[in-house]
Structure 1
Amino acid sequence: MDTLPLPAGGSAAAPPAPDELRELYSLMAAVRHLDVAAVAWQRQGIIPGYAPELGQEAAQVGSAYAVDTARDFVFPTYRETGVARAMGVNMVEYMSTHKATWHGGLYDPRKSRLAPIQAVVAGSVLHAVGWAHGQTLDGSDAVAMTYLGDGASSQGDVHEAMNFAALLKAPVVFFVQNNGWAISLSSERQVAGGSVAARGAGYGIPGVQVDGNDVLAVLGATRRAFAHCRTGNGPVIIEAMTYRRGPHSTSDDPGRYRSLDEEREGAGEDPLHRFRQQLLADGVADEGFFARTEASAVAEAEKIREGLQALGPRPGREMFDLVFQEATPTLQSQAASWREESEHV
């Protein structure tokens, strides 16, 4: 489905240039290697937990590539490693959150234009609508993009966010990664009507359902959505149909609710392989390019691992510093007790 009007003038954005196509593939390859490595790091005890995104590289890179980091702002969940990488966030600082080194990661949200990782299911959508409404009050043409999954779409917070975004004509893109599974529950069993994008009609919000394994289709839809929002037309819903090829998290066992045959059937063609074949067929890239890209991605993941392992623990007393603007007597007492027991002060 696609109810998003074309931009004024009747034409969509120009297709990506050859150098942009190669950059998109390089980003996807870097994300793939980092994602696979992060699962291994969890098994090795380097990080305590991680939410894999295997199979969702096209959806994340394609959408994030449309963001203008000079003015827009992105509100992620806990699974947007590819979004962070495509936006140029320092990945050691981003992954520090998965190491539980610091509350919201060591990266600077204002500078990177990526809000802290949101672990509350559907929590990021509310923040995005508030920020986007603030832009309309300031007369800015900046756009917010918030990520959510098909499972999160069943949360009441999503209804409230979409309803208020439509009423306020807030410039926000609701980017839904429908990866087929809400942890252990299939989309068929928890998304009424079969489509999240179709729900937009009830709010008066245009919606687009796109092939989430086609990076160019995702990029095109996201650029159209941003153009729609920038001209004061209000929010857009994009539903990228993809597939979660791995577990929901490193503590999940997908074998308990789906078979390997079901995984193979549902996953379809690998988004990286698909894009690679397209670039080869169009003469945009050759085998030498892919070999260099592969080597670069492997080296990058290794460098991030080294950076993560070099991070020392933060002082425990910091857990009391950012709770309230002015510390309460109770908090001060707790902090004093902690220092006495832990630091012997």
Structure 2
Amino acid sequence: MIRNVLDREPDDRVSVLDSDGTVVAPELVPNLDDETLVSMYEDMRLCRRFDERIISLQRQGRVGTYASLAGQEGAQIGSTYALATEDTISYQYREHGTVLSRGFPWEYLLYWMGHEVGNAVLPDDNVLPLNISIGGHLPHAVGYAWAAKLRGDDRVTLVHFGEGSTSEGDFHEAANFAGVYDVPIVFFCNNNQWAISTPREQQTASETFAEKARAYGFDGIQVDGMDPLATYVVTEAVRSRAANPLDGEPRPTMIEAVQYRFGAHTTADDPTVYRDDAEVEHWKERDPIRRFEAYLRGQGLLDDERIDAMESAIDETLQEAINRAESYEGDPDDIFEDTYANPTERLVEQRAFLGDLRATYGDEALLEEN
């Protein structure tokens, strides 16, 4: 199976399901039990519903700026399920599915409400804290993978990033170090066609993003990111090679998951300014949830009743998480905790000033004033 997946050119895109859910590569269908397949589908629906709810909360002023994942559920869930539990995931800011499918700690919502504790709980599920700077987490992920190699354990690191990150120096440095030191890492490039408002064709002169891996001494492979089965089988194959490479084979691999961002870059963006509705509708015909559902219905694993039950359970889970997050009372003093490892003199002064205001007027009075 590994050879069938990896012995191909970077522009030979791997697909298992057609846009209507029909199997087009039976030899690549992963050997997953029925329970796992249904669980993947349910997590994809959870992702989509999570996205809808958080965007709604943001519009109501109950959540801060948020990056939508709609359209990218197949890549996120497919890649996460293909990893071992002990493998480490490092993500940018859009791959919420990696968090949701690894247990969905309700505290994750706190991050989007302005509380850093929402980031602090992620390592419990072997997910590194969310990164906002474009590509800034890539060198750290490589360092983490290198440490695993030096320790001699079998842990693999998978790092998610958008195709826009390949224009950053951090990408070059990370890929170069990964190749030189042969670290157990999977570079997972989420090519959703747009780096905010810059289209894919204006970002690189390379024919594919996957082929960039060759410059660093390892392989690149392109996959249909809106096909969860294809994403799973490719990630499983490269993960296996990263953990147990054959003689002379490099551990790193770069996956380019070709997909589309249905919504805005973030809730602060207006995509209608730079793309037209016809393009969006074209990609929605490849909706990862719809095509995977068609496949599972054909396998006799899904019907309307089961989907209705899933939706009810998902809404209940999300509402409980939202209720818990909105009842959380943070300490205003926490804003100083994670700014610097060693507070600067100015930060110490600001912290003392806030303390004096709180002691004099109380938190409630300060909130009313603002």
**Do 2:99 and 2:122's aligned partners in 1 also have CA atoms closer than 8 Å?**
no
How far apart are 1:175 and its partner, in Å?
A: 0.6
Matched, 1:34 2:34: no
Please list every run of 5 or more consecutive structure 1 residues that lacks an aligned counterpart in the other structure.
Answer: none
- The match for 1:197 is 210
Distance in 1 (CA, whole Å) between partners of 2:55 and 2:207 is 31
Cα displacement string for residues 128-163 of structure 1 (whole angstroms, at most 9, x for unaligned residues): 001000011111111111110011111111011001
How far apart are 1:14 and its partner, in Å?
A: 5.1
1:1-345 alignment, distance < 5 Å:
4=6, 15-69=31-85, 71-90=86-105, 92-102=106-116, 105=118, 107-232=120-245, 233-312=250-329, 314-327=330-343, 329-344=345-360
Paired letter, 1:25: Y
Paired letter, 1:167: V
How far apart are 1:327 and its partner, in Å?
A: 4.5
**Do 1:57 and 1:271's aligned partners in 2 also have CA atoms closer than 8 Å?**
yes
Paired letter, 1:243: Y
Please list every run of 5 or more consecutive structure 2 residues that lacks an aligned counterpart in the other structure.
Answer: 9-26, 362-370
Secondary structure, aligned partner of 1:74: strand
**Do 2:123 and 2:129's aligned partners in 1 also have CA atoms closer than 8 Å?**
no
How far apart are 1:94 and its partner, in Å?
A: 1.1
Are residues 324 and 151 of structure 1, via their aligned partners in 2, closer, same or farther at CA, if it must alter by over 3 Å? closer
Are residues 37 and 327 of structure 1, via their aligned partners in 2, closer, same or farther at CA, if it must alter by over 3 Å? closer
Secondary structure, aligned partner of 1:133: helix
Cα displacement string for residues 177-205 of structure 1 (whole angstroms, at most 9, x for unaligned residues): 11111001111111322311111111111
Q: Which moved more, 1:320-329 or 1:201-210?
A: 320-329
**Do 1:187 and 1:194's aligned partners in 2 also have CA atoms closer than 8 Å?**
no
Cα displacement string for residues 291-321 of structure 1 (whole angstroms, at most 9, x for unaligned residues): 2112222222222222222122x22222333
Distance in 2 (CA, whole Å) between partners of 1:297 and 1:329 is 47
**Do 1:181 and 1:187's aligned partners in 2 also have CA atoms closer than 8 Å?**
yes
How far apart are 1:47 and its partner, in Å?
A: 0.2
Are residues 13 and 280 of structure 1, via their aligned partners in 2, closer, same or farther at CA, if it must alter by over 3 Å? closer
**Do 2:5 and 2:234's aligned partners in 1 also have CA atoms closer than 8 Å?**
no
Distance in 2 (CA, whole Å) between partners of 1:72 and 1:134 is 13
Are residues 195 and 311 of structure 1, via their aligned partners in 2, closer, same or farther at CA, if it must alter by over 3 Å? same
How far apart are 1:36 and its partner, in Å?
A: 0.9
Distance in 1 (CA, whole Å) between partners of 2:360 and 2:95 is 40
Q: Which moved more, 1:259-268 or 1:128-137?
A: 259-268
Paired letter, 1:89: F
Are residues 291 and 258 of structure 1, via their aligned partners in 2, closer, same or farther at CA, if it must alter by over 3 Å? same
**Do 2:5 and 2:237's aligned partners in 1 also have CA atoms closer than 8 Å?**
no
How far apart are 1:337 and its partner, in Å?
A: 2.3
How far apart are 1:206 and its partner, in Å?
A: 1.0
Paired letter, 2:319: E
Are residues 224 and 77 of structure 1, via their aligned partners in 2, closer, same or farther at CA, if it must alter by over 3 Å? same
Cα displacement string for residues 25-56 of structure 1 (whole angstroms, at most 9, x for unaligned residues): 01101111111111111001110211001110
Paired letter, 2:110: S
Distance in 1 (CA, whole Å) between partners of 2:221 and 2:190 is 12
Secondary structure, aligned partner of 1:227: helix
Paired letter, 2:113: K
Secondary structure, aligned partner of 1:207: strand
How far apart are 1:282 and its partner, in Å?
A: 1.7
How far apart are 1:332 and its partner, in Å?
A: 3.0
TM-score, normalisation: structure 1 = 0.91
How far apart are 1:235 and its partner, in Å?
A: 0.8
Are residues 304 and 194 of structure 1, via their aligned partners in 2, closer, same or farther at CA, if it must alter by over 3 Å? farther
Paired letter, 1:262: E
TM-score, normalisation: structure 2 = 0.85
**Do 1:124 and 1:147's aligned partners in 2 also have CA atoms closer than 8 Å?**
no
**Do 1:30 and 1:300's aligned partners in 2 also have CA atoms closer than 8 Å?**
no
